[in-house]
Amino acid sequence: MSTNWNRKDLLGLRELSADEINFILETTDAFKQVGTREIKKVPALRGKTLVNFFVEPSTRTRTSFELAAFRLSADVINISATTSSLTKGETLKDTARNLEALHADILVLRHSSAGAPQFLAQRLKSSVINAGDGAHEHPTQGLLDLYTIREKRGKIDNLHVVIVGDILFSRVARSNIFGLTKLGARVTLVGPSTLVPREFEKLGVTVSNQIDKVLPDADVVNLLRIQHERQRKEYFPGISEYTTLFGLTKERAKLLKPDCLVMHPGPINRGVEIDSEVADGLQSVILDQVTNGLAVRMAVLYLCGGIAA
């Protein structure tokens, strides 16, 4: 049985069909199983070279891609902004062309500019995997969130997923919105109106700024990190006010249905968007997300990197 997958790149969830997303999730099942073997490594991408090209800092995503590549027997090179010649004035395209000249088969790119992965994917024969581009998309995070929901709840269709926090600057939110709506979930975005503009309703979601009204009906709550590094002061008055109005505190968590999942893409700001008791509580699947992220990235690398160039 052959697959209908024919993409060399994964740039975002917006351009994928529901069938393609479901297919990645099914493939992930197979790769998750590899993690339970005595030898957690398969030769699927043996002889392939993967370049982790992270122009923006990241530990967990880069490590997850690196480990996924190791488990598929690919060779990995890590390049960060500071170690690359971008600091010497080389353009992104020239850096990437040089990597291709070294026969890199897969380029995993994290970049501060939206569209950077698209730009390279059109110009390179290598597979390009978007590991987060500006405030645009972070498709593997979106996929691992979908996978975790599907694994814990058995389905995605008809679930009510509430995404709380800084939606405006969040690529995680966008990938989640595209993926969840394609698979039939109902999505509500919650946060200060400066960070969750009504504009988002055009994507087929509901926007609210009253978290206490939304939480009792949620099947999944996905809390986004307040991105201090991107935040300018004018978006909200202060961290403690944010916590008071939108944080998932211990008290507020009592509004949740018992089977509601609590998710967070990490890194967590304990005591800001989520209380420690909730982050470590029974409803939290935050560490499952990390484990599933590895399997999702194995599936994506296998599918994109395994296509004949």
The residues that touch another protein, with contacts defined as CB under 8 A, are: 1-3, 5, 27, 29-34, 37-46, 48, 72, 105, 299, 302-303, 305-309
Q: Which is nearer to another protein, 2 or 82 (CB)?
A: 2
Least separation in angstroms between CB 2 and another protein: 4
Least separation in angstroms between CB 42 and another protein: 4
Q: Which of 238, 278, 240 is nearest to 256 (CA)?
A: 278
Least separation in angstroms between CB 6 and another protein: 8
DSSP secondary structure letter of residue 229: T
Least separation in angstroms between CB 181 and another protein: 27
Least separation in angstroms between CB 294 and another protein: 15
80 beta partners: 54
Amino acid symbol at 21: I
Q: Which is nearer to another protein, 293 or 305 (CB)?
A: 305
Q: Which is nearer to another protein, 74 or 156 (CB)?
A: 74
**How many C-beta atoms lie closer than 10 Å to residue 229's C-beta?**
7
Q: Which is nearer to another protein, 121 or 226 (CB)?
A: 121
- How far is residue 139 from each of residues 109, 171, 280, 281, measured CA to CA in Å? 12, 8, 26, 27
Least separation in angstroms between CB 99 and another protein: 18
Euclidean distance between CA atoms 198 and 33, whole angstroms: 41
Q: Which is nearer to another protein, 41 or 213 (CB)?
A: 41
Residue 252 C-alpha from the chain's centroid: 26
Least separation in angstroms between CB 49 and another protein: 12
**Residues 295, 297, 302, 308: what is their CA dihedral angle, to the nearest 10 degrees?**
170
Euclidean distance between CA atoms 239 and 241, whole angstroms: 5
Q: Which is nearer to another protein, 282 or 309 (CB)?
A: 309
- How far is residue 185 from each of residues 138, 177, 180, 276, measured CA to CA in Å? 19, 9, 5, 28
Amino acid symbol at 155: K
For the beta sheet containing 206-208, the strands, ordered from the edge strand earlier in sequence to the opposite edge, are: 206-208, 186-190, 160-164, 220-223, 261-263
Q: Which is nearer to another protein, 38 or 229 (CB)?
A: 38
SS3 label, residue 226? coil
